[in-house]
Structure 1
Amino acid sequence: MDALVFKTLRRFVKTGTLTITTANGVTRSFGDGAGPAVAVRFRTAAAQRRVLLDPELRLGEAFVDGDLIIEQGAITELLELLLSQEQNDAAPITTKILSRLRFALRRRVQKNGRQKSRRNVAHHYDLSSKLYKLFLDEDMQYSCAYFERADMSLDEAQQAKKRHIAAKLLPGRHARVLDIGCGWGGLALYLAEAFDAHVTGITLSSEQLEFARGRAAAASDPARLEFRSQDYRDVNERFDRIVSVGMFEHVGVNHYDEFFRKCRDLLDDEGIFVLHSIGRSDPPGFTNPWIARYIFPGGYIPALSEVLPAIERAGLVVTDVEILRLHYAETLRHWRERFLARRTEAVDLFDERFARLWEYYLGVSELAFRYQGMMVFQIQIARRQDAVPLTRGYIEREERRLQAVSTTQPECESAQEHSCVAVG
């Protein structure tokens, strides 16, 4: 088995410096000697064999279970060394077979009905809010930030994200807004306070719901905010605006037509819908098996070629598409660094294994955006072609205005008046 491990690594690792000690105590180095050196040791032959045959799933398991010891460097440095290699044909035949099988079965594991969706959400989002407070920004935004400048802090970039989405949403004063997958309520509070809007936030997470309702009760006008435990399929009112940030990844390809048809039914004739989701630059694929098993069961990162046809079939109009490439990589870097700075608190909340699991999750996710074609897309959708201004200049002007006025009320009454485009 050692010989096969060494043969695979010689073919795969061309740059960097990787030293590996097998479970039998044999040590070899690979790469060109450049970059930070990483050294690892396998504690058991069984773990070594599993990683060789199915690295996408088993590498993370070996690290979390303590069967892969990082003796020099850190797990993120190991992951970067591996994921930054040029793609080649070095993977064992078993890995290739598993990849084909996972792609073939991807729709089966994405059958996210109401009960399964609620279980999937509880698996990740019903962890204690104390955990998320360790590494998120002050507003508890658990989605991609928007870095207008490279030197922005996480809090500044998350505030910029909310402005960016609001500028595309163009809610008039007193607009009725639906936030699908509202999280801890930060975006809903922002829209309610900045636009005097009435915002209904829905979530399947009991932990997030309790937190968001507590924030609403402390808001300047609690009557403008309503948070519900509700599946999007069970909402029946009409809304002037719909926004969904970081929830679409949990819908599942099988349900895209259902999702967009429902959003069409919920959206007013002159309404606007902004969808913010992780996507892939590559053709359709399958969810990383480690992420699917331990972090986001039922989750899937779509290609735009899977999303846009479903929007068309629902009879909706795409009015704008924007790709945020490395913004989530930077967001995850901030989260990872903040988590590591308070790692002992995570161990106290849960245990050492849990801390290793989250260290791996944040690291492998960051590097997927840097090296594996992951990105974020924002799609602005409407029922009518004239729902938004003719050119995109209004977005930047509205962002500048929102930044200038902070939490003061906008003067615009509706997107149709185009008065939400004050010169900044």
Structure 2
Amino acid sequence: MWDKLLDGMLRGFVKTGALEITDADGKVSRYEGGPGPQVGLRFHDQGIARGILTAPDMTLGEGFMEGRITIDGDDLDGLHAFLAMNVAQSGDLWWRRAIQTSRLARRRLDQWNPASKARSNVAHHYDLSASLYDLFLDADRQYSCAYFRHPDMTLEEAQAAKKAHIARKLCLEPGMRVFEIGSGWGGMALTLAQDYGVEVLGVTLSTEQLDWSRARAEAAEMADKVRFELKDYRAVKGQFDRIVSVGMFEHVGVPHYREYFDTVRDRLTPDGIALIHTIGRATPPGSTSPWITKYIFPGGYVPALSEMSTAVEKSGLYPTDVEVWRLHYAETLRHWYDRFMAREEEAERLYDARFVRMWRYYLKASEMSFRHAKQCVFQMQLARQQEAVPLTRDYMSS
């Protein structure tokens, strides 16, 4: 019965490319649409068909992690490109509408991130072994979208270009006080202090990141200019000339957007400037894949611009610039995936083969979401006064 139901579902789903499935009994079924990726899947137990019908995202992700689903030629690129392209065309299918309705109904619960829960969510991902991130990040440990001003840039060059671009948008002057919400491994804070002469307070909820950042500041003899604290951004007091937040807003959760932007407003001086850099969706509001929520980013959500803008409007902040980066994150993730695969054996020694398959699935699914599923990056520059930044954008050019 489940095989017949899955067959009917896939015949309506596949509009681009081709999918060939070999089930546990050796039966082969093929589904074809227009030109696109050609993918072959092999199911190694009888429960896969039922799982895909009831929870497709979770079943595919867990099935690949556990080896119960394999891909012909190990073609993760092809699988995720195929899925992203067809999901984008499947909104009118009743079962896709039912899945989305169910996810939207749970959205506020899944994204409820008070300070105590936010800390445990962060620990799930960012308190993994430091050696894991050494496998695929640049030396500065920038774990956010790089800025490929030129297509032949190395990852290191593109990450440096990202930091420089953000610094220009902040209109920094020596001696300014900067508040970084979500300071990662300290690279942004140290760059701003060393290259622009500012003082930075960075906060994180990751103990691993905190220890790493403090050690870097000491080694660079910058501890008097750069301070890192294990603290929720909502607990910080005082005012700052500038606020920067890169890759943290995805962890805020829609129920907390107004609280977040109210905090940004309250922490800014009257003539202050904030720069919020976040993954975004170029679609109406949606929901997070349950597989991503369970295994990668609990409490995480990629916002629509309309959701951010509504909260900004209510906070009283003035949007002085909004920039959209399109394929920059796809290229960043391609670099990360290639670096990870080059050191796959080291990753397996750190954890195990299941973890490696999980991480590969995450990196490649993320890349294809930027290539085919209308994900992008928003950089939103905000101020309390419209005169806080120059009238034209010339100051952003190098």
Instruction: Name the SS of the counterpart of 2:345 in structure 1.
Output: helix
2:70 is the counterpart of 1:69: yes
1:94-133 matched pairs, under 5 angstroms: 94-133=95-134
1:267-282 matched pairs, under 5 angstroms: 267-282=268-283
In 2: Cα distance, 1:10 partner to 1:235 partner: 54
User: For 1:93-134, what per-residue CA distance to the aligned partner results, in whole angstroms no more than 9, with x for missing partners?
Assistant: 454323201112201221110100000000000001110110
Deviation at 1:6? 2.9
2:295 is the counterpart of 1:297: no
Amino acid at match of 1:81: F
User: For 1:304-326, what per-residue CA distance to the aligned partner results, in whole angstroms no more than 9, with x for missing partners?
Assistant: 11111211211211100001111
Distance change (3 Å), C-alpha of 1:335 and 1:89: closer
User: For 1:222-272, what per-residue CA distance to the aligned partner results, in whole angstroms no more than 9, with x for missing partners?
Assistant: 311100000011100211110000001111111111111111111111111
1:336-355 matched pairs, under 5 angstroms: 336-355=337-356
Distance change (3 Å), C-alpha of 1:34 and 1:316: closer
Aligned residues: 397
Deviation at 1:171? 1.2
In 1: Cα distance, 2:371 partner to 2:306 partner: 21
In structure 2, the residue matched to 1:153 is 154
Instruction: Name the SS of the counterpart of 1:16 in structure 2.
Output: strand
Distance change (3 Å), C-alpha of 1:92 and 1:379: closer
Distance change (3 Å), C-alpha of 1:42 and 1:90: farther
Contact 1:8/1:91 (8 A) holds in 2: no
In structure 2, the residue matched to 1:419 is none
With the length of structure 2 as denominator, give the TM-score of the two structures. 0.96
Instruction: Name the SS of the counterpart of 2:322 in structure 1.
Output: strand
Amino acid at match of 2:107: R
Instruction: Name the SS of the counterpart of 1:81 in structure 2.
Output: helix
Q: Give me the CA root mean square deviation.
A: 1.7
In 2: Cα distance, 1:183 partner to 1:139 partner: 10
User: For 1:248-297, what per-residue CA distance to the aligned partner results, in whole angstroms no more than 9, with x for missing partners?
Assistant: 11111111111111111111111110000111111111111111111111
In structure 1, the residue matched to 2:252 is 251
In structure 2, the residue matched to 1:21 is 22
In structure 2, the residue matched to 1:236 is 237
Amino acid at match of 2:13: F
Contact 2:319/2:381 (8 A) holds in 1: yes
In 2: Cα distance, 1:154 partner to 1:31 partner: 37
1:311-390 matched pairs, under 5 angstroms: 311-390=312-391
In structure 1, the residue matched to 2:183 is 182
In 1: Cα distance, 2:88 partner to 2:179 partner: 42
Distance change (3 Å), C-alpha of 1:86 and 1:127: closer
In structure 1, the residue matched to 2:217 is 216
1:1-20 matched pairs, under 5 angstroms: 1-20=2-21
In 2: Cα distance, 1:86 partner to 1:350 partner: 32
In structure 2, the residue matched to 1:138 is 139
Deviation at 1:91? 8.3
With the length of structure 1 as denominator, give the TM-score of the two structures. 0.90
Contact 1:39/1:73 (8 A) holds in 2: no
Unaligned runs of 5+ residues in structure 1 are 401-424
In 1: Cα distance, 2:92 partner to 2:98 partner: 10
